[in-house]
Amino acid sequence: MEDMSPLNRLLENGKFRFERLLLKDIDNLPVIKINAPDIVDQETCLFHRDFPTGDDYFRILHLAISRGLSERRATPVVRFADGEYAFYEYDLSCNGLYQQTESVRAIREAMPSHIDALRILASSGMLAPLIFPGNTTDKAKKLFKLFRKSKEAPSASTFLKFLFQNGIDLTSGNYIPFYVVYAYLTSEDFIRLVDNKKICILNSDFNRESCTKWFARFSGQPDLSFVEIPAEYVATRWDSIKEKILRQISSETDLCIVGAGIGSLPVCVDVAMRFSIPAIDAGHALNMMNDRVDKSNGARLYTIRKTKNTD
């Protein structure tokens, strides 16, 4: 008998479950209307039994970042989706919107560092993988095997297997749904929390005026700084550029916002551990701050707030 899959291990005995991610002030309809209808399937994600609602996950992330700020605690938060799933299967389809790797060989050489970073992330921070029924079923696997019969399609299932094989478990303490990170970074709660804090943005570009306006929406005025990182190959070249980048970050920094593609894992972990601060993989949310939604090919779920009724 085939061993139980890592996903089924999570679901057995009701420890985890699939449930729709509802957040009190999020409006996904504008995003759903301009995308393929099946994007709505991504609203159903993995929940731990300790968290009855999406708002509970939002609160736990807010608490973790708040503690990281007030206690100078290393708190890396990293998202994982299709690109990462391909990367950890040594599949060059990880080169999607951005060039993440030069070759399969480059992935293999970088993998030990990524696994070390994943272990640190699981013990000190939060993993936010995109896991919903549509990327854990056999549909993609069957289509993929028509072309490459010897290999399983990269998916949330293969990522969970990768974690399991490396002794990394998802728990109530280290897992949050992927889209909770977007919802949090675009929220008034986050902007008010970092008001007057020193924030360093690590990305390939930075528009100070746009970022300042972004935080000013909720009267936030953080002290923003910027450290440039390459637009390509951070996932495979981070070890060679790490010290040069880290030396540019002020020791007084309170929090880092990172945009480094698949390289965000080692970047967030090393920054958080070096400076004992939260380091958040922002992705599309950072493109929004920079007024560059076009770099994400349009709006994403859980980033648009409901219009407040002023009557």
pLDDT digits (tens, 9 = 90+) for 152-190: 789 999 999 999 999 999 999 999 999 999 999 999 999
- Are 145 and 231 contained in the same domain? no
Task: Grade residue 150 by pLDDT with cuts at 50, 70 and 90.
Answer: low
Q: What tens digit of pLDDT does each residue of 21-65 get? A: 999 899 999 999 999 888 999 999 999 999 999 999 999 999 999
Residue 2 has pLDDT above 70, yes or no: no
Backbone angles phi, psi at 75, to 5 degrees: -140, 80
Domain identity same for 209 and 131: no
Tokens of 123: 């013990």
Q: Are residues 101 and 189 in the same domain?
A: no
Residue 301 inside a domain? The answer is no
Report the distance separating Cα 125 and Cα 269, nearest Å: 8
CATH of the domain at 206: 3.40.50
What whole-number distance in Å separates Cα of residue 281 and Cα of residue 268?
Answer: 7
Range of the domain at 200: 182-296
Does 101 have pLDDT greater than 60? yes
- Lowest model confidence (mean pLDDT) among 58-62, 137-141, 262-266: 137-141
299 and 30 in contact (C-beta within 8 Å)? yes
Judged against a pLDDT cut of 70, whether residue 311 lies above it is answered with no
pLDDT at 146 exceeding the cut of 50 = no
Q: Domain tally for the chain?
A: 2
Within-domain flag for 302: no
Final residue of a domain: which of 144, 159, 180? 180
Cβ atoms of 245 and 266 closer than 8 Å: no
pLDDT digits (tens, 9 = 90+) for 183-207: 999 999 999 999 999 999 999 999 9
Look at residue 144 in the predicted model and tell me its pLDDT. Answer: 47
Which of 180, 209, 233 is the C-terminal boundary of a domain?
A: 180
The CA distance from 241 to 238, in Å, is 5
Given this model, what pLDDT does residue 296 score?
80
pLDDT of residue 151: 65
Other CB atoms within a 10 A radius of the CB of residue 234 amount to: 28
| Boundary-marking domain end, from 140, 158, 180 | 180
* 175 and 55 together in one domain: yes
Mean pLDDT of the chain: 91
